[in-house]
Amino acid sequence: MNANPEVTSDAPALDRGLSVLEYVVEASQPVSMKELSKALSIPSASAFRLIKTLVQRGYLDEINLSQQFYQPGNKLFQLVQFYQLNHSLHSVARMPLLDLAERTGQTAQLAILKAGSVMYIEQALPKEPVSIVAPLHSYIPINVSAAGKIICSYLTPGELEDVLVPENLQRKTRNTICDAKALTEAIGQSRQQGYATDIEEFARGIGCVAGAIWDSHDRCVGALGVTGHVEQYQDKARRDHIVASVLAIAREVSTLMGYAGSYPRP
């Protein structure tokens, strides 16, 4: 068991907290506060504060038997699942993103829903990149993102209500939808047609299309889309080509993620 409280640290409280977490995770059964304090040479009062904080944050679960015992909490499993999903999406989508950028001549992006916002975790640039593209790993409001709309279209009503709170909605242009009711209708339309759009809602002169990505458990785990000059979305033939390309590549990525269900066609 890797418990080393003697390691010198610039943040001793954090170091002790991580030692506690590692000890509980590596233990074969729930452990008591007394055992943790003794094994890690942490004073009982300090161990109590650390453990209570980890319990409050969901990293540890408290079990009340004859005395209190602790085991890994759901937060740890959620983080592991989140990491595995993102890592899998990164590796699976990398080549399809390049293909999509080449097919459309636009910036292809891979997005996930995180903390009530959209985060782009990967992208592929065309030969002539668009000047205005949301940066990677930044939080983008749901209401200015085609990816956000299509992901939200598969949330439950309760989940959608939690996401469409005022602090998550920002006005970027005069086309931005900031009213929760109107945005809910736009999200519903996105689900009905199988893809979502952003026409000068994030920035003037910019358009986007996005389709959902599904995994082997029939869950929408992200979105794949493109960003380009708005003129390309105002021409019907060009727009139809973009939508078809996005849905084809999103279907390909979903299949690589193990999805075996049907997928919308334009």
The torsion angle over the Cα atoms of residues 194, 195, 196 and 199, rounded to 10 degrees, is: -130
Encode pLDDT of 122-163 as tens digits: 999 988 777 677 888 889 999 999 999 999 999 999 999 999
Q: Which helix (H) or strand (E) holds 252?
A: helix 236-256
Within a domain: 231: yes
The answer on 153 and 87 residing in a single domain is yes
Tell me, yes or no, whether 85 and 66 share the same domain. Answer: no
21, 44: one domain: yes
**56 and 85, same structural domain?**
no
Q: Are residues 51 and 173 in the same domain?
A: no
What Å distances lie between residue 21 and 36, 59, 114, 261, CA to CA? 10, 8, 24, 39
Q: What is the band of 5 on the pLDDT scale with cuts at 50, 70, 90?
A: very low
Q: Is the dihedral of CA 227, 233, 239, 243 positive or negative?
A: positive
Query: For residue 3, is pLDDT > 50?
Result: no
Task: Determine the Cα–Cα distance for residues 61 and 58; give it in Å rounded to an integer.
Answer: 7
Does the pLDDT of residue 6 top 70, yes or no? no
6 occurs within a structural domain: no
How far from 252 is each of 56, 97, 153, CA to CA, in Å?
A: 41, 10, 20
Q: Quick check: is 126 in a domain?
A: yes
104 and 24 in a single domain? The answer is no
Residue 237 has pLDDT above 90, yes or no: yes
Three-class secondary structure of residue 163 per DSSP: helix
Residue 143 lies in a domain: yes
- Rounded-to-integer distance, Cα 232 and Cα 143, Å: 21
In a domain, 5, yes or no: no
What's the mean pLDDT in 245-259? 93
Domain for residue 135, yes or no? yes
Torsion of CA 235, 237, 240, 245, to 10 degrees: -110
Residue ranges making up the domain that contains 52 = 12-72
Residue 185: in which H helix or E strand, if any?
Answer: helix 180-193
- Domain containing residue 111: CATH number: 3.30.450.40
Domain count, the chain: 2
38 and 150, same domain (yes or no) = no
For the CA atoms of 199, 202, 205, 207, what is the dihedral angle to 10 degrees? Answer: -40
Q: Identify the CA nearest to 160 among candidates 180, 145, 144.
A: 180
Tell me the pTM.
Answer: 0.69
Say yes or no: 226 and 124 in one domain: yes
CATH code, 27 = 1.10.10.10
Residue 262: inside a domain, yes or no? no
Q: Could you report the per-residue pLDDT of 65-93, keeping only the tens digit for each?
A: 667 889 988 888 777 766 656 557 778 89
Question: Minimal CA–CA distance to 64: which of 32, 36, 37, 40?
Answer: 32
Q: What is the DSSP string of 73-110?
A: -HHHHHHHHHHHHHHHHHHHHHHHHHHHHHHHSSEEEE
Residue 261 located in a structural domain: no
Query: From CA 3, how far away is CA 5, in angstroms rounded?
Result: 6
Give the closest residue to 84 by CA, choosing from 258, 225, 261, 211.
258
Encode pLDDT of 212-224 as tens digits: 999 888 999 999 9
Q: Are residues 56 and 127 in the same domain?
A: no
CA atoms within 13 A on the CB side of 258: 9
**Contact residues for 263 (Cβ-Cβ < 8 A; gap 6+):** 194, 214, 247, 250, 251, 254
Q: Do 130 and 203 share a structural domain?
A: yes
Residue bearing the bigger pLDDT, 28 or 189: 189
